[in-house]
Amino acid sequence: MAALTLLLGGALAPFAPAQRPRSAEEAIERYRAVQDRPEAQRRRAVDDLGAFADDAVTELLVAELERAEGLGHRQTVVRALGEVPRRGAVPALQKAFTAASNARLADSAAEGLARQGEDGVQALRALLDGLDGGGSKWNSLCSGLGRSDLPAARDLLLDLLRKVGGRERLGPLRNLQRWDGDAAVDEQRLLLARDQDPLVAATALRQLADHGHADTPTLALELQRRLGAKATGEQHEAVVRGLLAAPTVAVLEPLLASAAAADDPFADDLQPLWQRALAEPAFAKAFAAAAAGKHPPAELVVAARALQFVPKAQAGAAAGALVALLGQRDAGVVRAAAAALAAVAPDRALAALPPLVAAGADPLPAIALEALHAVRSAEPAWADELLQHANGRSQGLRAAALQLLARQPGVDAARAVAAAGGALGHKSWPVRAAAIGLLVALREPAGIPLLFERLDAEQARLRGDVVAGLRELTGLQLPTTAEWRQWWAKEGPTFVVPARAARRERNGADAGTTASYWDLPVLSDRVAFVVDCSGSMKQPFGTGDATRLDEAKRQLARVLAALPAKAKANVVTFGNDAKAFADKLQPIDERRRKAAASWVEALEAFGATNVHAALQLAFADPEVDTIYLLTDGRPSAGAIVAPDPLAREVQRWNTGRGVQIHTVALGGRSDFLERLAVDSGGEHTVAR
pLDDT digits (tens, 9 = 90+) for 82-100: 999 999 999 999 999 999 9
**CATH 3.40.50.410 occupies which residues in the chain?**
513-687
- Residue 315 CB burial class (10 angstroms; 0-12, 13-18, ≥19): middle
Which pLDDT band holds residue 422 (cuts at 50, 70, 90)?
A: very high
Q: How far apart are CA 487 and CA 451, in angstroms?
A: 14
What lies within 8 Å, CB to CB, of 54 at 6+ separation is 24
Residue 587 above 90 pLDDT? Answer: yes
Among 83, 113, 117, 84, which residue's Cα sits nearest to residue 96?
113
Q: Which residues pair with 574 in a beta bridge?
A: 532, 578
Which pLDDT band holds residue 2 (cuts at 50, 70, 90)?
A: very low
pLDDT digits (tens, 9 = 90+) for 138-158: 999 999 999 999 999 999 999
Residue 9 above 80 pLDDT? Answer: no
**Under 8 Å between Cβ of 302 and 256:** yes
pLDDT digits (tens, 9 = 90+) for 17-52: 458 899 999 999 999 999 999 999 999 999 999 999
Other Cβ atoms closer than 10 A to 481 = 14
Comparing 550 with 9, the larger pLDDT belongs to 550
Q: What is the pLDDT of residue 499?
A: 87
Q: How far apart are CA 241 and CA 180, in angstroms?
A: 17
Q: Indicate whether this model's pTM tops 0.85.
A: yes
Which pLDDT band holds residue 6 (cuts at 50, 70, 90)?
A: very low
Other Cβ atoms closer than 10 A to 256 = 25
Q: Whats the size of the chain, residue-wise? A: 688
260 phi, psi to nearest 5 deg = -70, -25
**Average per-residue pLDDT for the chain:** 93
Which pLDDT band holds residue 8 (cuts at 50, 70, 90)?
A: very low
**Under 8 Å between Cβ of 614 and 533:** no
Q: How far apart are CA 407 and CA 373, in angstroms?
A: 10
- CATH fold of the domain at 513-687: Rossmann fold (3.40.50)
Residue 633 above 50 pLDDT? Answer: yes
Residue 521 above 80 pLDDT? Answer: yes
Task: Report which DSSP code applies to 638.
Answer: S
- Report cis status (omega within 30 of 0) of the bond before 363: yes
Q: What is the pLDDT of residue 506?
A: 56
Residue 339 above 90 pLDDT? Answer: yes
pLDDT digits (tens, 9 = 90+) for 533-581: 999 999 988 777 899 999 999 999 999 999 998 899 999 999 999 999 9
Helix axes 252-261, 281-291, angle to 10 degrees: 60
Q: Which residues pair with 529 in a beta bridge?
A: 571, 628
Q: How far apart are CA 438 and CA 383, in angstroms?
A: 13
Percent of the chain with pLDDT over 90: 87
629 phi, psi to nearest 5 deg = -105, 120
- Residue 157 CB burial class (10 angstroms; 0-12, 13-18, ≥19): buried
Q: What is the pLDDT of residue 145?
A: 96
Task: Report which DSSP code applies to 547.
Answer: B
Q: What is the pLDDT of residue 508?
A: 53
pLDDT digits (tens, 9 = 90+) for 274-302: 999 999 999 999 999 998 888 999 999 99
Q: What is the pLDDT of residue 542?
A: 79
pLDDT digits (tens, 9 = 90+) for 473-505: 999 999 999 999 999 999 999 999 998 865 555
Q: What is the CA radius of gyration of the chain?
A: 30
